[in-house]
Structure 1
């Protein structure tokens, strides 16, 4: 099966020199990919939908599922609406070893379902965020600066991501750091939940690119605005639009780009046509 497109072109509403202008940029493609071994799911991940066979074979080698390429009998790529299933069939002797290994593990490496079912479970029906919190462009710049100042672990290690939550006025309520960007955001969510803080009036900032999981987490929290230093993926943009989450990315100094739901950024609606589309 031919590889899927690695990127697509999207339109953003960029804030540059104090004004909003329409721009076009390329964002990477992102899809759910299941790696199935002998008909049972070993892993489901979000990935760029290219070179999927290589991804599956490389994972099998790197995780010592096989000792060499000769222990892989066949690889088949099955594409569904939910995602891509890389189905790997091992030679009989290695297949028996793999089954025994799975049984001995303390926790399962996969969900035990077939790849297609696992891909469907990987997709989430997200709540639609209804809040209309409004943030000024200057607040995004200040929030990013506050987050950078508070990244003590990053200053020591240069090896972690950060996530932060800010109230409607831009004041930083909590910042958490972790080697995983998803973990950092989960820590922020837990902090707010334990203290009874409603995320709806505020917004999130991230030090990473925006993948679909981060949008899913923001929507599940009920937070309608996420701003990040790096760019989003195609699927993240689609999910943000569906969940009515404002996605602002590539926030660098006084500049940033809005990819979805610009109504939460002060002044952005003035750059929209009457039909809600971005003006040239």
Structure 2
């Protein structure tokens, strides 16, 4: 089985100063990925066709379909003419619980809440992560997004792909995944970490995107207490982070960052200037 390539080359006319030049551009691929549990399709997401098993496992964990890998009895990836099926077989208990969830998530990339038919489900309670996570230094947070760039081969070629990385204190970024969708990249990272036995509570998620509601929800469901992002949070995402005990550092771009919540996870030796 050969999955579609995550990148492809196309021709374009580059216009500048009233001149046109034929150029080759590398663009990311988007493929419909169906999450199929015990033979029934639960969700269809548009995503980069890479790291599919990581994606399926991470999605299952962050959406609360499973709480532990032992509840997934087997997985397989199947290519179809119109997309890819990620097939997961669950234990009877989890399959029964899933049958009671009236959800579909068919939607375009970038919308992690598309299709949810319940406001209660969209704003589901999150675990309390107050005190969860290591103490990070100013330099570790400031340099996190710059360090993540070394883990972005798809973005280096296409300039159109998000990344999510995992930072451990004293080690830097130790793992990362990429996708055209910011929430897909995070799901892939969480799935890869679960498969490798890496504990999310021991470090921080580093994001190349803004911090939206679903990014905080997925972080909390994974059990990670720190988010470091290159861009801003939404107001509601910040409220969720505060309520869930998540430290949120945004606008992290090398020379500094803004720390919005739960500042105790920052090295306390930093002086504050009013």
**CA distance in 1 between partners of 2:159 and 2:137 (Å):** 30
Q: 1:116 to 1:178 in 2, by over 3 A?
A: closer
**CA distance in 2 between partners of 1:171 and 1:253 (Å):** 14
Q: Which residue of 2 aligns with 1:81?
A: none
Q: 1:109 to 1:207 in 2, by over 3 A?
A: closer
**CA distance in 2 between partners of 1:230 and 1:249 (Å):** 6
Q: 1:145 to 1:108 in 2, by over 3 A?
A: closer
**CA distance in 2 between partners of 1:262 and 1:116 (Å):** 33
Task: Flag as ranges the 4+ runs of structure 1 deviating above 6 A.
Answer: none
1:268 deviates by: 7.2
| Equivalent residues of 1:229, 1:249 under 8 A apart | yes
**CA distance in 2 between partners of 1:195 and 1:180 (Å):** 23
| Equivalent residues of 1:263, 1:269 under 8 A apart | no
**CA distance in 1 between partners of 2:105 and 2:237 (Å):** 28
**CA distance in 2 between partners of 1:150 and 1:218 (Å):** 20
Residues 219-276 of structure 1: per-residue CA shift (max 9 Å, x gap): 11111111000010000100000000000000111210011101111137754xxxxx
**CA distance in 2 between partners of 1:211 and 1:116 (Å):** 16
Give the TM-score of the pair, scaled to structure 2: 0.55
**CA distance in 1 between partners of 2:105 and 2:171 (Å):** 43
Q: 1:117 to 1:109 in 2, by over 3 A?
A: closer
CA RMSD of aligned residues (A): 2.4
| Equivalent residues of 1:199, 1:222 under 8 A apart | yes
For 1:35-184, list aligned pairs within 5 A: 118-129=118-129, 130-184=131-185
Q: Which residue of 2 aligns with 1:259?
A: 260
Q: 1:223 to 1:268 in 2, by over 3 A?
A: farther
- Aligned residues between the structures: 163
Q: Which residue of 1 aligns with 2:82?
A: none
Q: 1:118 to 1:172 in 2, by over 3 A?
A: same
> What are the ranges of 5 or more consecutive residues in structure 1 without an aligned counterpart?
1-106, 272-278
**CA distance in 2 between partners of 1:242 and 1:127 (Å):** 9
Q: Secondary structure at the match of 1:251?
A: coil
Which of these two proteins has the greater Rg computed from alpha carbons?
A: 1
Q: Which residue of 2 aligns with 1:238?
A: 239
Give the TM-score of the pair, scaled to structure 1: 0.54
